[in-house]
């Protein structure tokens, strides 16, 4: 793995990359004044979100108190996956399982999402998964507009850092926030949208939790996944 790629993986996993100091010699004892320093300076709490690295962004999110959801969360749920992923999956908000685990889509809906991805040849580890909001809304209610707005810069930065080739918006809350519309998912699916900034192709599909309640719509979700596959393989972008 090349050095740049290795660094991106480590950064996305929240691991600080340490630099040897200039002039360091292998085997030479390091004196107290020479103790290693992080490559980056200590994160600047005032730095704009749009300028943050993966590590800084993760730390900023973990400390976030921009909306009241921080009062009831166990922990923030930042996102997970390959920082070089070509596909970014964006859900709604962490549920109880995710709040406990600190990882998106780990419950039953997550298992179905994994199966949906596997169906187009993608392991969960090969994509990047995030949510519109990073903290669990109490009682699994939909996130309020002000909560989604407070979290928006974090998701925008994740998208900018990842620069995915395709975005898959799962569910109404995700589609509405990403596309700035209130149209029903049933009307948004079946075509390729564009996410701005970045002009990134975006496909809308049903939320896996909804599909667990309405398995008869899985065939439509399969069409949506096939549209994602075609976009990733540069075939005709139209959903079936």
Residue with Cβ nearer ligand URA (81 or 95): 95
- DSSP secondary structure, 60-81, as one string: HHHT--SSGGGGT-SS----EE
CA dist., res. 157 & res. 134, Å (int): 13
Q: Is 79 in the site for ligand URA (CB under 6 A)?
A: no
Residues that bind ligand URA (rule: CB under 6 A) add up to a total of: 12
Residue with Cβ nearer ligand URA (148 or 230): 148
Cis peptide before 197 (omega within 30 of 0): yes
Closest CA to 89 of 8, 198, 208, 7: 208
Binding to ligand URA (CB under 6 A) within 156-195 occurs at: 171
The angle, 0 to 180 degrees and rounded to 10, between the axes of the packed helices 3-12 and 54-62 is: 0
**Cα separation of the two ends of the chain:** 37
Binding to ligand URA (CB under 6 A) within 80-139 occurs at: 91-95, 98, 104-105, 109, 131
CB of 187 to ligand URA, least distance (A): 20
Interacting residue ranges for ligand URA, rule: CB under 6 A: 91-95, 98, 104-105, 109, 131, 171, 209
């Amino acid at each position: 793995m090349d050095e740049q790629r290795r660094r991106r993986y480590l950064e996305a996993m929240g691991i600080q990359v340490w630099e040897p100091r200039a002039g360091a010699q292998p085997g030479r004892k390091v004196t107290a004044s020479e103790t290693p320093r992080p490559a980056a300076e200590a994160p600047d709490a005032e730095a704009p979100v749009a300028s943050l690295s993966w590590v800084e962004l993760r730390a900023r999110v973990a400390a976030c108190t921009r909306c009241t959801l921080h009062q009831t969360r166990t922990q923030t749920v930042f996102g997970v996956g390959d920082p070089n992923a070509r596909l970014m999956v964006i859900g709604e908000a962490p549920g109880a399982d995710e709040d406990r685990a600190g990882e998106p889509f780990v419950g039953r809906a997550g298992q179905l999402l994994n199966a949906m991805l596997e169906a187009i040849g993608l392991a969960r580890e090969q994509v990047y998964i995030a949510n519109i909001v990073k903290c669990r809304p109490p009682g699994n209610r939909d996130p309020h507009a002000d909560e989604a707005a407070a979290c928006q810069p974090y998701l925008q930065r994740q998208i900018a850092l990842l620069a995915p080739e395709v975005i898959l918006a799962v569910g109404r809350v995700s589609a509405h926030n990403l596309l700035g519309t209130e149209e029903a998912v049933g009307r948004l699916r079946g075509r390729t949208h564009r996410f701005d900034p970045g002009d990134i192709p975006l496909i809308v599909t049903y939320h896996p939790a909804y599909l667990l309640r309405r398995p008869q719509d899985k065939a439509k979700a399969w069409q949506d996944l096939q549209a994602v596959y075609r976009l990733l393989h540069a075939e005709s972008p139209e959903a079936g």
